[in-house]
Structure 1
Protein backbone atom coordinates (compact mmCIF):
# COMPACT_ATOMS: atom_id res chain seq x y z
CA UNK A 1 0.00 0.00 0.00
CA UNK A 2 1.28 3.43 -0.88
CA UNK A 3 -0.02 5.57 1.93
CA UNK A 4 -1.72 4.92 5.19
CA UNK A 5 -1.35 2.04 7.56
CA UNK A 6 -3.64 -0.96 7.71
CA UNK A 7 -4.03 -2.74 11.03
CA UNK A 8 -3.13 -6.42 10.99
CA UNK A 9 -5.55 -9.18 11.98
CA UNK A 10 -8.35 -7.03 10.65
CA UNK A 11 -11.77 -8.37 9.76
CA UNK A 12 -14.18 -6.60 7.47
CA UNK A 13 -17.95 -6.72 7.56
CA UNK A 14 -18.96 -6.66 3.88
CA UNK A 15 -22.62 -6.01 4.62
CA UNK A 16 -21.67 -2.98 6.72
CA UNK A 17 -19.48 -1.70 3.88
CA UNK A 18 -22.35 -2.04 1.39
CA UNK A 19 -24.99 -0.53 3.68
CA UNK A 20 -22.76 2.39 4.72
CA UNK A 21 -21.90 3.26 1.11
CA UNK A 22 -25.57 3.07 0.16
CA UNK A 23 -26.46 5.30 3.13
CA UNK A 24 -23.90 7.94 2.12
CA UNK A 25 -25.52 8.13 -1.31
CA UNK A 26 -29.13 7.84 -0.10
CA UNK A 27 -28.65 10.64 2.46
CA UNK A 28 -27.05 12.92 -0.11
CA UNK A 29 -23.79 13.00 1.83
CA UNK A 30 -21.71 11.78 -1.10
CA UNK A 31 -22.16 10.69 -4.70
CA UNK A 32 -21.29 7.15 -5.82
CA UNK A 33 -17.54 7.45 -6.37
CA UNK A 34 -17.06 9.52 -3.21
CA UNK A 35 -19.13 7.10 -1.11
CA UNK A 36 -17.08 4.11 -2.26
CA UNK A 37 -13.75 5.82 -1.51
CA UNK A 38 -14.99 7.10 1.88
CA UNK A 39 -16.33 3.76 3.11
CA UNK A 40 -13.18 1.88 2.05
CA UNK A 41 -10.95 4.50 3.68
CA UNK A 42 -12.94 4.35 6.91
CA UNK A 43 -13.62 0.62 7.15
CA UNK A 44 -10.00 -0.30 6.44
CA UNK A 45 -8.90 2.44 8.86
CA UNK A 46 -6.48 4.06 6.44
CA UNK A 47 -4.27 6.68 7.98
CA UNK A 48 -4.91 9.29 5.29
CA UNK A 49 -6.99 12.46 5.30
CA UNK A 50 -10.48 12.77 3.91
CA UNK A 51 -8.97 14.85 1.11
CA UNK A 52 -8.70 11.55 -0.76
CA UNK A 53 -12.50 11.69 -1.14
CA UNK A 54 -12.20 14.96 -3.05
CA UNK A 55 -10.22 13.14 -5.73
CA UNK A 56 -13.36 11.11 -6.44
CA UNK A 57 -15.64 14.15 -6.78
CA UNK A 58 -15.36 14.45 -10.55
CA UNK A 59 -16.55 10.95 -11.36
CA UNK A 60 -20.30 10.89 -10.50
CA UNK A 61 -22.92 10.54 -13.24
CA UNK A 62 -20.43 8.97 -15.59
CA UNK A 63 -17.43 11.29 -15.16
CA UNK A 64 -18.66 14.77 -14.41
CA UNK A 65 -22.17 14.15 -15.68
CA UNK A 66 -21.03 13.08 -19.16
CA UNK A 67 -22.70 9.69 -18.90
CA UNK A 68 -19.50 7.71 -19.51
CA UNK A 69 -18.03 5.22 -17.01
CA UNK A 70 -20.17 4.67 -13.89
CA UNK A 71 -18.84 6.72 -10.98
CA UNK A 72 -19.20 3.85 -8.52
CA UNK A 73 -16.76 1.70 -10.49
CA UNK A 74 -14.25 4.55 -10.80
CA UNK A 75 -14.43 5.04 -7.03
CA UNK A 76 -13.79 1.33 -6.53
CA UNK A 77 -10.79 1.44 -8.83
CA UNK A 78 -9.45 4.47 -6.96
CA UNK A 79 -9.82 2.56 -3.68
CA UNK A 80 -7.97 -0.44 -5.10
CA UNK A 81 -5.19 1.92 -6.15
CA UNK A 82 -4.83 3.10 -2.55
CA UNK A 83 -3.78 -0.42 -1.61
CA UNK A 84 -2.18 -1.87 -4.71
CA UNK A 85 -1.18 1.09 -6.87
CA UNK A 86 2.24 2.56 -7.35
CA UNK A 87 3.67 5.89 -6.35
CA UNK A 88 7.15 5.45 -7.78
CA UNK A 89 8.03 5.44 -11.46
CA UNK A 90 8.34 2.04 -13.12
CA UNK A 91 7.21 0.23 -9.96
CA UNK A 92 5.79 -3.14 -11.00
CA UNK A 93 2.96 -2.78 -8.44
CA UNK A 94 0.98 -1.23 -11.26
CA UNK A 95 0.42 -4.75 -12.61
CA UNK A 96 -1.42 -5.80 -9.44
CA UNK A 97 -3.54 -2.64 -9.45
CA UNK A 98 -4.47 -3.24 -13.08
CA UNK A 99 -5.26 -6.93 -12.48
CA UNK A 100 -7.57 -6.15 -9.56
CA UNK A 101 -9.18 -3.22 -11.38
CA UNK A 102 -10.02 -5.52 -14.29
CA UNK A 103 -11.50 -8.00 -11.81
CA UNK A 104 -13.75 -5.26 -10.38
CA UNK A 105 -14.65 -4.11 -13.90
CA UNK A 106 -15.57 -7.64 -14.98
CA UNK A 107 -17.64 -8.18 -11.81
CA UNK A 108 -19.67 -5.01 -12.41
CA UNK A 109 -20.10 -5.59 -16.13
CA UNK A 110 -21.14 -9.20 -15.51
CA UNK A 111 -23.74 -8.10 -12.97
CA UNK A 112 -25.07 -5.05 -14.83
CA UNK A 113 -24.20 -5.67 -18.51
CA UNK A 114 -22.40 -2.35 -18.93
CA UNK A 115 -20.20 0.24 -17.23
CA UNK A 116 -21.56 3.10 -19.30
CA UNK A 117 -23.76 5.40 -17.22
CA UNK A 118 -25.80 6.34 -20.31
CA UNK A 119 -26.66 2.68 -20.93
CA UNK A 120 -27.23 1.87 -17.24
CA UNK A 121 -29.68 4.79 -16.92
CA UNK A 122 -31.30 4.58 -20.37
CA UNK A 123 -34.92 5.65 -20.17
CA UNK A 124 -34.49 7.17 -16.71
CA UNK A 125 -34.67 10.82 -15.80
CA UNK A 126 -31.66 12.01 -13.83
CA UNK A 127 -32.55 12.55 -10.17
CA UNK A 128 -35.76 10.51 -10.14
CA UNK A 129 -36.39 7.87 -7.51
CA UNK A 130 -35.74 5.13 -10.09
CA UNK A 131 -32.39 6.66 -11.03
CA UNK A 132 -31.33 7.32 -7.42
CA UNK A 133 -32.33 3.81 -6.30
CA UNK A 134 -30.27 2.24 -9.07
CA UNK A 135 -27.24 4.37 -8.24
CA UNK A 136 -27.58 3.46 -4.56
CA UNK A 137 -27.60 -0.23 -5.57
CA UNK A 138 -24.51 0.19 -7.79
CA UNK A 139 -22.67 2.13 -5.07
CA UNK A 140 -23.32 -0.65 -2.56
CA UNK A 141 -22.38 -3.40 -5.02
CA UNK A 142 -19.07 -1.79 -5.88
CA UNK A 143 -18.16 -0.90 -2.30
CA UNK A 144 -18.85 -4.46 -1.15
CA UNK A 145 -16.92 -6.09 -4.00
CA UNK A 146 -14.00 -3.68 -3.60
CA UNK A 147 -13.83 -4.53 0.11
CA UNK A 148 -14.02 -8.25 -0.74
CA UNK A 149 -11.10 -7.98 -3.18
CA UNK A 150 -8.96 -5.93 -0.76
CA UNK A 151 -9.74 -8.30 2.12
CA UNK A 152 -8.86 -11.34 0.03
CA UNK A 153 -5.57 -9.82 -1.12
CA UNK A 154 -4.58 -8.78 2.42
CA UNK A 155 -5.80 -12.05 3.96
CA UNK A 156 -8.34 -10.29 6.16
CA UNK A 157 -11.21 -12.19 7.68
CA UNK A 158 -14.74 -11.44 6.52
CA UNK A 159 -17.56 -10.99 8.99
Structure 2
Protein backbone atom coordinates (compact mmCIF):
# COMPACT_ATOMS: atom_id res chain seq x y z
CA UNK A 1 0.00 0.00 0.00
CA UNK A 2 1.19 3.48 -0.75
CA UNK A 3 0.29 6.80 0.86
CA UNK A 4 1.88 9.28 -1.58
CA UNK A 5 -1.22 9.91 -3.64
CA UNK A 6 -2.37 12.81 -5.80
CA UNK A 7 -5.62 14.03 -4.23
CA UNK A 8 -6.77 15.98 -7.28
CA UNK A 9 -6.16 12.94 -9.48
CA UNK A 10 -8.25 10.88 -7.07
CA UNK A 11 -11.06 13.43 -7.28
CA UNK A 12 -10.99 13.34 -11.09
CA UNK A 13 -10.87 9.57 -11.39
CA UNK A 14 -13.83 9.11 -9.04
CA UNK A 15 -15.82 11.82 -10.81
CA UNK A 16 -15.07 10.27 -14.20
CA UNK A 17 -16.20 6.81 -13.05
CA UNK A 18 -19.56 8.31 -12.11
CA UNK A 19 -19.80 10.71 -15.07
CA UNK A 20 -19.01 7.95 -17.57
CA UNK A 21 -21.56 5.58 -16.02
CA UNK A 22 -18.95 3.00 -15.04
CA UNK A 23 -19.78 3.09 -11.34
CA UNK A 24 -22.19 4.82 -8.99
CA UNK A 25 -20.96 7.13 -6.23
CA UNK A 26 -20.03 4.66 -3.47
CA UNK A 27 -18.47 2.20 -5.91
CA UNK A 28 -16.45 4.95 -7.61
CA UNK A 29 -15.05 6.19 -4.30
CA UNK A 30 -14.09 2.70 -3.10
CA UNK A 31 -12.56 1.62 -6.43
CA UNK A 32 -10.56 4.84 -6.75
CA UNK A 33 -9.17 4.58 -3.21
CA UNK A 34 -8.25 0.92 -3.69
CA UNK A 35 -6.51 1.59 -6.99
CA UNK A 36 -4.71 4.80 -6.11
CA UNK A 37 -3.49 3.64 -2.70
CA UNK A 38 -2.66 0.26 -4.26
CA UNK A 39 -4.53 -1.62 -1.55
CA UNK A 40 -4.14 -5.35 -2.02
CA UNK A 41 -7.72 -6.56 -1.64
CA UNK A 42 -10.19 -8.54 -3.67
CA UNK A 43 -12.35 -6.63 -6.13
CA UNK A 44 -15.22 -8.10 -4.11
CA UNK A 45 -14.76 -5.08 -1.86
CA UNK A 46 -16.02 -2.89 -4.71
CA UNK A 47 -19.05 -5.18 -4.98
CA UNK A 48 -19.78 -4.47 -1.32
CA UNK A 49 -20.19 -0.81 -2.22
CA UNK A 50 -22.87 -1.60 -4.83
CA UNK A 51 -25.75 -1.46 -2.36
CA UNK A 52 -25.10 2.10 -1.19
CA UNK A 53 -25.80 4.30 -4.26
CA UNK A 54 -28.71 6.74 -4.24
CA UNK A 55 -28.95 6.63 -0.47
CA UNK A 56 -28.71 2.88 0.16
CA UNK A 57 -30.26 0.99 -2.70
CA UNK A 58 -32.18 3.97 -4.03
CA UNK A 59 -34.00 4.63 -0.77
CA UNK A 60 -32.58 8.13 -0.37
CA UNK A 61 -30.87 7.70 3.00
CA UNK A 62 -27.19 8.49 3.54
CA UNK A 63 -25.33 9.85 0.50
CA UNK A 64 -23.57 7.00 -1.31
CA UNK A 65 -20.42 9.04 -1.90
CA UNK A 66 -20.13 9.53 1.86
CA UNK A 67 -20.74 5.85 2.61
CA UNK A 68 -18.13 4.92 0.00
CA UNK A 69 -15.65 7.17 1.78
CA UNK A 70 -16.47 5.57 5.12
CA UNK A 71 -15.98 2.12 3.57
CA UNK A 72 -12.59 3.17 2.21
CA UNK A 73 -11.48 4.49 5.60
CA UNK A 74 -12.61 1.25 7.24
CA UNK A 75 -10.72 -0.75 4.64
CA UNK A 76 -7.48 0.94 5.67
CA UNK A 77 -8.01 1.58 9.38
CA UNK A 78 -10.69 -0.92 10.40
CA UNK A 79 -10.49 -4.26 12.10
CA UNK A 80 -10.98 -7.82 10.96
CA UNK A 81 -10.64 -9.54 14.34
CA UNK A 82 -13.11 -9.32 17.20
CA UNK A 83 -12.38 -6.88 20.01
CA UNK A 84 -9.50 -5.29 18.06
CA UNK A 85 -9.26 -1.66 19.19
CA UNK A 86 -8.46 -0.60 15.61
CA UNK A 87 -12.20 -0.02 15.30
CA UNK A 88 -11.74 3.16 17.33
CA UNK A 89 -9.46 4.71 14.69
CA UNK A 90 -11.83 3.73 11.89
CA UNK A 91 -14.76 5.27 13.76
CA UNK A 92 -12.84 8.45 14.59
CA UNK A 93 -11.76 9.00 10.99
CA UNK A 94 -15.20 8.12 9.63
CA UNK A 95 -16.76 10.66 11.97
CA UNK A 96 -14.30 13.23 10.65
CA UNK A 97 -15.38 12.53 7.06
CA UNK A 98 -19.05 12.73 8.06
CA UNK A 99 -18.47 16.07 9.80
CA UNK A 100 -16.72 17.48 6.73
CA UNK A 101 -19.65 16.45 4.54
CA UNK A 102 -22.29 17.86 6.89
CA UNK A 103 -20.42 21.12 7.47
CA UNK A 104 -20.44 21.71 3.72
CA UNK A 105 -23.86 20.35 2.81
CA UNK A 106 -25.80 20.60 6.11
CA UNK A 107 -27.21 17.06 5.82
CA UNK A 108 -26.11 13.63 4.63
CA UNK A 109 -29.55 12.45 3.52
CA UNK A 110 -29.69 11.82 -0.23
CA UNK A 111 -33.43 12.68 -0.39
CA UNK A 112 -32.78 16.09 1.09
CA UNK A 113 -29.66 16.73 -0.99
CA UNK A 114 -31.51 15.93 -4.21
CA UNK A 115 -34.92 17.41 -3.32
CA UNK A 116 -36.56 18.90 -6.39
CA UNK A 117 -34.16 17.23 -8.80
CA UNK A 118 -35.21 14.63 -11.31
CA UNK A 119 -33.04 11.52 -10.95
CA UNK A 120 -30.55 11.46 -13.80
CA UNK A 121 -31.14 15.09 -14.78
CA UNK A 122 -28.09 17.24 -15.57
CA UNK A 123 -28.51 19.06 -12.23
CA UNK A 124 -28.69 15.77 -10.32
CA UNK A 125 -25.75 14.28 -12.18
CA UNK A 126 -23.59 17.38 -11.70
CA UNK A 127 -24.22 17.42 -7.95
CA UNK A 128 -23.63 13.71 -7.44
CA UNK A 129 -20.50 13.71 -9.59
CA UNK A 130 -19.19 16.56 -7.43
CA UNK A 131 -20.07 14.74 -4.18
CA UNK A 132 -18.31 11.61 -5.49
CA UNK A 133 -15.13 13.52 -6.28
CA UNK A 134 -15.29 15.45 -3.03
CA UNK A 135 -15.68 12.35 -0.87
CA UNK A 136 -12.96 10.45 -2.73
CA UNK A 137 -10.66 13.44 -2.22
CA UNK A 138 -11.52 13.90 1.46
CA UNK A 139 -11.38 10.19 2.32
CA UNK A 140 -8.01 9.93 0.55
CA UNK A 141 -6.75 12.98 2.41
CA UNK A 142 -7.82 11.51 5.76
CA UNK A 143 -6.22 8.15 4.90
CA UNK A 144 -2.96 9.77 3.78
CA UNK A 145 -2.75 12.14 6.75
CA UNK A 146 -3.12 9.26 9.19
CA UNK A 147 -0.56 6.92 7.61
CA UNK A 148 1.17 4.92 10.27
- Residues in 2 aligned to 1:87 and 1:45: alpha-carbon distance in whole angstroms: 19
Structure 1 partner of 2:23 = 30
- Residues in 2 aligned to 1:88 and 1:48: alpha-carbon distance in whole angstroms: 17
Residue 57 of structure 1: SS of its match in structure 2?
helix
Structure 2 partner of 1:136 = 129
Task: Give the TM-score normalised by structure 1.
Answer: 0.91
Q: Which runs of 5+ in 2 are unaligned?
A: none
Structure 2 partner of 1:86 = 79
- Residues in 1 aligned to 2:43 and 2:30: alpha-carbon distance in whole angstroms: 9
| Residue 48 of structure 1, CA deviation | 1.3
How big is each residue's C-alpha offset from its partner over 1:47-87, in whole Å with a ceiling of 9 and x where there is no partner? 11211100000000000000000000000000000111111
Structure 2 partner of 1:18 = 11
Of residues 89, 93, 99 in structure 2, which corresponds to 1:96? 89
Root-mean-square deviation (Å): 0.9
**1:46 is aligned to 2:39:** yes
Structure 2 partner of 1:109 = 102
Which structure has greater helix proportion? 2
**1:123 is aligned to 2:116:** yes
Task: Give the TM-score normalised by structure 2.
Answer: 0.98
- Residues in 2 aligned to 1:96 and 1:22: alpha-carbon distance in whole angstroms: 27
- Residues in 1 aligned to 2:56 and 2:9: alpha-carbon distance in whole angstroms: 26
Count of matched residue pairs = 148
